[in-house]
Chain A
């Protein structure tokens, strides 16, 4: 199949590369702030919103946004109970939301459930593409404008306030960006696979980049490359598009972890297990 000449694939390719680059760049800061769990949770907790949107025939983007907002409100509400705490609040909310979404989906829309979970890259419309590009611009601008507060909040949260940075606000802003990214990417990648493009390229870039700027650039490149490789492979080998992209991202990350430079370790000298090598820790 000639990918370049097919309009359908061209749109899908552009969409996945833009999303890959955006999610990759965002992922670098999410990993540094150790918010992978929040990323996964947000992505999963929006499922009821997506299912309801699919049931009533509303745009998925709207359902995703509603789902994220509802989940965020629930998490905030549950976390206010000090006996519960934030971690459990997230866990309970996400599981509830995901279960609710799955329950709502059967038996009326079982076919679309797969699409919601795993995305429909080949169904990318021009409007989706515009939304993805808009998101990419917003995330890029925000990361550029916020790189100093982000660095202070990650590196030294205790001293950050005396440096003029409020770590709580910085983290909240990043989570809002994350929610936007997940909402925009869910149409193409689905709410399970979007996480692969947020975590894997960034994890690889953390192993390869020596400065934060280099890490962000590398993560964006790895994300776009994952999209390219995954989509071409799926077209050539007739595999599911979203899953191929996710797998490509994971394979690139494993290559970075195994073939990249040894991460600097203060202790040094001790042999590292495969698990340690892959986790970069």
Chain B
């Protein structure tokens, strides 16, 4: 499976404001662009509207002003505990969902897509777990299955919602390795995260708190002033130099 090479993947957002309804604008003044091969950490507190940005990029929210342009197929990789773990699907079934959009309702999923799904599971290191029920996998394994699904979608742009939340150390390293590969293939990764320290490792950071606080290379962008502007009272500066963490328990319920 190779990265979509025909037209390079890219995300361009210009002065974007998005809302869930006419009453209130949920997210405003977002301007950034990312091109193929870049991984962007999207930082922000709960209610910082990271998910809102993703939904706007997916075209699921009306844009109040500005524009969001996505070049390439876009895939959303949700947090695994948001999927229904009691639903009887195997890891392979979930990966195959990546082919739903190109499969007519009256046809079976094409043999080519079936082999794509197996290759994708192999890439994320879960070839032997293809037949395992999704709900019986560990959090990290489930996250990798959902990434495999995005690969079957042949996504040039991947929106990952807290891909390291509730994931053990081994899986975290595995996922990190996969994301590095995807980046090297020229895909654009947007990674919503709470982990400021980890965000320093990506190419760009986008700080959101209802509006865009900052965007740029981590070294210049993640200043104490920006972090305070992003997290406000939630921020805790730890003693090991520049390490900062957000303290609030994570929940998305108010984002919908």
Contact = CB atoms under 8 A, between A and B. Distances in A.
Contacts of A281: 86
A6 to B, nearest CB: 41
Contacts of A215: 88
Contacts of B134: 155
A23 to B, nearest CB: 20
Contacts of A162: 58, 74-76, 153
B112 interface: no
Given A264-B133, A264-B136, A148 B88 contact: no
Contacts of A156: 78, 82-84, 97
B89 interface: yes
Interface of B: 58, 60, 74-78, 82-89, 93-94, 97-98, 100-103, 105-106, 133-136, 146, 149, 153
Interface in A131-174: 145-146, 148-149, 151-152, 154-156, 158-159, 161-165
Contacts of B106: 145
A215 B87 CA distance: 11
Interface residues of A, number: 27
A155 B83 contact: yes
A163 B88 contact: no
Contacts of B75: 159, 162
A209 B106 CA distance: 24
Contact of A212 (B76, B82, B88): B88
Interface of A: 32, 145-146, 148-149, 151-152, 154-156, 158-159, 161-165, 209-212, 214-215, 263-264, 266, 281
12 contacts: A32-B87, A145-B105, A149-B105, A155-B83, A155-B89, A156-B82, A161-B60, A162-B58, A164-B102, A165-B100, A211-B88, A214-B88
A46 B100 CA distance: 37
A155 B106 CA distance: 21
B135 A264 contact: yes
A152 B134 CA distance: 13
A163 B103 CA distance: 11
Contacts of B82: 156, 158
Counting from the closest, the 10 A-B pairs by CB-CB distance are A164-B101, A162-B76, A159-B76, A156-B83, A158-B78, A155-B87, A163-B100, A145-B105, A159-B78, A148-B100
Given A155-B89, A163-B98, A146 B76 contact: no
A159 B77 contact: yes
A214 to B, nearest CB: 8
B94 A155 contact: yes
Contacts of B93: 151
A164 B100 contact: yes
Given A156-B78, A264-B135, A151 B89 contact: yes
A266 to B, nearest CB: 7
